[in-house]
Amino acid sequence: MSKRIVQLGRERVDDYAWMKDDNWQAVLRDPGSLRPEIREHLEAENAYTVAMLGSTEALQATLFEEMKGRLKQDDSSAPVPDGPFEYFSLYEIGAQHPRHVRRARGAEHELAVLLDEEAESTGKAYYAVEAAAHSPDHKLYAWAVDEHGSEYHQILIRDLRTGEVLENGPESATGDFVFSPDSQWLFWVWRNENARPAKVFRRPARGGDDVLVYEESDEGMFLGVGVTSDRGHIVIGVQNQETSEAWLIPGSNPTEAPTIAEPRRVGVRYDLDHWGDRWVIRTNADGAVDFKLVTSRAVIPSSETWEVLVEHYPGRLIAGVAAYRDFLVRLEREDACNQIVIMDRDGVEHAITFDESAYSLSLTPGFEYDTTTTRFVYQSPTTPRQWFDYDMAERTRLLRKTQEVPSGHDPSRYEARRLHAIAADGQTVPITVLKLRDTPLDGSAPLMLYGYGSYGIPLDPSFSTQTLSLVDRGWIWASAHIRGGSDKGWGWFLDGRGPKKKNTFTDFIACAQHLVAHGYGKAGRIAAYGGSAGGMLVGAVANMRPDLWGAVIAAVPFVDVLNTMSDDSLPLTPPEWPEWGNPLTDEAAYDYIASYSPYDNVTAQAYPAIFAHGGLTDPRVTWWEPEKWIARLRNHSTGDRPLLLKVNMEAGHGGASGRFDHLKEVALDYAFAIWALHTDGDLP
C-alpha cells in the first residue's frame, strides 16, 4: 500500500500513506467516521503500548498522585475588577473543570455563577472552553466550547439577568470572539471546511442573522478579533508568521465597514492599540528586527504618519504592550529573561525586575483602562507563581496571590542555574537547569532535556509542579533556549526557521553535549522531550544523534514535515509556508525540508526508546504523523529499544481536557522516561 509521489521532478515513496484517512475533515467533527482499518490499527498500537508499559502502572499512579497532591484542588484565580464587578474562576474539590464567577467589587461572598464547566462537561469525553468573556455592560456572558478537540467551537451566550442560554449560538467558530463596546454586537471568526479561519461575522449579541464583515482570500493568513484597550475600536487582525495587517471599526459605530490601518507588506509585522489621543504600534518595519514602538495621531494610522516612541535595540525584543489611560506598559525579553517597563505620558520610564538568575515575568492587563494598576505574574523554576498588582504611579506592588502547593514546597531544596552552550556556528545558547541542591554533577543523574524552538515562541523559565516529580527523584531538568524561539530576540527566531531550521536541531545537540561535558548528564542517559514542533525537534535529533538519547518523548509530533507541507488542504499548511518553506513550488525548500524531516530521514541505525502520542481530532498535527513515524522507525531500527505509540481517540492537539486527566498523560510520559533510562530492568 505504498504511495509513489513525484513532485518538482523529485520522487519519494511513502510506505505508510494508507494511515491517512482522506475523509479527515469529517473525522475532526465526528471521530466515529474514521475508516475502520485505521481505527483498528490505532487501537492495536494503543493496546501494545499499554502492554509494554504494564510494569509502570504503579509508578504512573504514584506520579499522578504526587502531581495531584501539588495541585490545590479548590483553587481560584485572582479576581479581576471591571466596573461594579470582579470576575474570576474557581475549582471545587475533585472537579476537572472550573466555574466562572463574579461578585460585587470588594465583596467576599454572594458569588454569581456565569458558567459551570464541570456541570456542562458531565457525560462528555472531551470538553474545553477556549475563551470566555462578559459584555461591557455586564449583562451577557459568552464562551467558546470545543467538545471533540478539533478546535471547531460553538459560541454560547447567557443572559445574566435570566440565566438562560440564548439559542443558535455561532458554530464552526475558531473560538476567537469579542463584544462590541456598546454590547450590542458579537464579532466572531468562522472556520471553513479545511479548519482554517476565513471570515469574520457580526451578529446581534442577543441573537439574529450573521453579517459578513471581512473575508480573507489568502489561505495563508490567520484571523482574529479584539478591541483596543480604551474600547474605542474593534480590530480585525490578519497575520502569518512574517506579515500582518489590521482593520479598524469605530467602537461608536460597530456596523461601519472596516478600514485598513496599514496595508500588508511581506515581512512587515505590526500590532496596535489606542492610547489617549494616539495610536501605539509595535512593528518590525524598517529593519527593526526586535521591534520598536511608534505612534500616530492620525485617525487611520498608516505608516507615513508613524513617529518613533521607543527605538529598536538589537537583541532586546519588545514582546508585548498594554495601554492604560496614563501609562504604557511593555514586556521586553533579552537573553531569555523578561522585564517590564512602565512609561508615563511624559515619557518617563522605570523597569520592574527581579534578582534570580532565571525567571519569568508575564503581563495580565485586565479589563480596566482608567486605572493606575497593572497586574503581572512572577515565577521561576524554584519559585511558585505570584500575582502582583502594581501601582504604576506610586511604583509599589501588592501581592494578590501565591500559587499554593498543598503537599509542600521548599524552594531552598532546589537550585536553578543558567548555563550557556556554544552552538556549532559559535552562537551562545542559554540553558535553564533545575536540580536538587544535593544532586551530584558527576554524570550519574538522569537528565531530561526539553525543547521547542519554533514560531518565535520562547521557553520561559517557569515553575512546574509536575517537573518536581522527576527532580525529586534525582533527575536534572534542563530547558534549551534554542533558535527558532524568541528567547534572545526576534533575530533568534529568524535564525531558526525556513532555510536555517537546522540551527534549532544543532543547538539542541550542543546543549546536550554541554550538559554532558559539565556533569549534568551522560550520553545515552538523556531523555529528549518535545511536543508539536518540539516533537519535530526531538524526531530530528533522534535521527542525527541517536547515541545521545536513552529516551525520546514526542508529544503530538510534527514529524511528517515534507508530506504535510505538500498538502495544501491541511489546516495549517498554507499559513506555515513562511515558517518552513513551500515544497510545492520551491525546489530549494523541498530539498531542505527533505534533508531534515524526521519521517523522511529515518535510517537503518539503532534508535533510542521512543514514545510518540497524538490525538485523533487534532487539526494541527494530524494523528497519522506519529502513526506513520513509529511504523517507519520499527521497520528501520537496528536496535532493540521499544518504539511506542499512543493516540488519544477522544482528544486533539492539547490532549485530555480535564486537569486531572491531563496529569495522567504527563505521568505516563515521565514513567516512560524512568522506565526507558533505568538500566537494571526493574523500576525503582
Q: Could you give the residue numbers annotated as active site? A: 532, 618, 653
C-alpha cell at 276: 489617549
Backbone φ and ψ of 579, nearest 5°: -80, -45
* Helix, strand, coil content of the chain in percent (nearest 5): 25, 35, 45
Segments of 240-316 assigned E as strands: 244-250, 259-260, 270-275, 278-283, 292-296, 307-310
| CA 565 distance to own-chain centroid | 20
Amino acid at 193: E
Task: Report the side by side order of strands in the sheet with 211-215.
Answer: 173-179, 185-191, 197-204, 211-215
HSE of 562, CA atoms in CB hemisphere, 13 A: 28
Task: Of 480, 415, 476, 414, give the one whose Cα is nearest residue 444.
Answer: 476
Computed on alpha carbons and rounded to an integer, the radius of gyration of the chain in Å comes to 25
Q: What angle do CA 355, 357, 358 make, to 5 degrees?
A: 110
Distances from the Cα of 20 to the Cαs of 16, 148, 327, 670, in angstroms? 8, 19, 52, 29
CA–CA–CA angle 472, 358, 522 (5° rounding): 50
Say how far apart CA 227 and CA 239 lie, in whole Å.
17
CA 628-604-454 angle, to 5 degrees, is 55
Residue 573's closest CA among 621, 645, 639?
Answer: 621
Q: Are strands 85-90 and 337-344 parallel, antiparallel or unpaired?
A: unpaired
Other beta carbons within 10 Å of 563: 24
Are 211 and 204 in contact, with CB atoms under 8 Å apart?
Answer: no
The beta strands (E) that lie in 353-499 are given as: 360-363, 373-379, 386-391, 396-402, 414-422, 428-436, 447-450, 476-480
Q: What letter would DSSP give residue 18?
A: G
Q: Is 395 exposed, middle or buried (0-12, 13-18, 19+ CB in 10 A)?
A: exposed
Amino acid at residue number 401:
K
β-strand 643-648 against 609-615: which pairing, if any?
Answer: parallel
Distance, in Å, from the CA atom of 184 to the CA atom of 639, rounded to the nearest integer, reads 64
Judging by beta carbons within 10 Å of its beta carbon (0-12, 13-18, 19+), is residue 67 exposed, middle or buried? Answer: buried
Length of the chain: 684
Closest CA to 297 of 286, 309, 312, 289: 309
